[in-house]
Amino acid sequence: MGHFDLWFARILRLTGTVMLVGFILALALTSILSYDTNPSPEAERLFGISVIVGIGMGFLGIPLFLVGDKISPPDPWLDPWLNPFKGRKPVHMNQDREEAEEPEQ
């Protein structure tokens, strides 16, 4: 994997993660604003903007996160932060190296 491909995959993965966090924050903001029974015009405008931003971040963040996670190589520094529940991605060795390392009996 080239230097550009590595950075592209990491940037894609981090961008998707940040957009998912933004989606969750916008969802929390809209849920808090929805409890107001008599909102001011500013609160209504903020509610509408947060709904639009949340939907946009959700539609962009989920595919970016999934594609970035799929194409990103294993990274011991990023994996625990971006996927704390999955653990680290397995490091696949080349087939030739695996065959050479097997003890012969």
- Tens-binned pLDDT, residue by residue, of the chain (105 aa): 677 878 888 888 888 889 999 999 999 988 888 888 888 888 889 889 999 999 999 999 989 888 888 887 777 777 777 766 665 556 566 655 555 565 655
Under 8 Å between Cβ of 86 and 23 = no
pLDDT reported for residue 68:
83
List the structure tokens of 65: 């996160």
CA distances from 66 to 12, 14, 20, 46 (A): 9, 11, 11, 29
Identify which of 66, 73, 77, 75 has the alpha carbon closest to the alpha carbon of residue 19: 66
CA 17 – CA 32 distance, rounded (Å): 23
The answer to pTM > 0.75 is no
List the structure tokens of 104: 């012969």
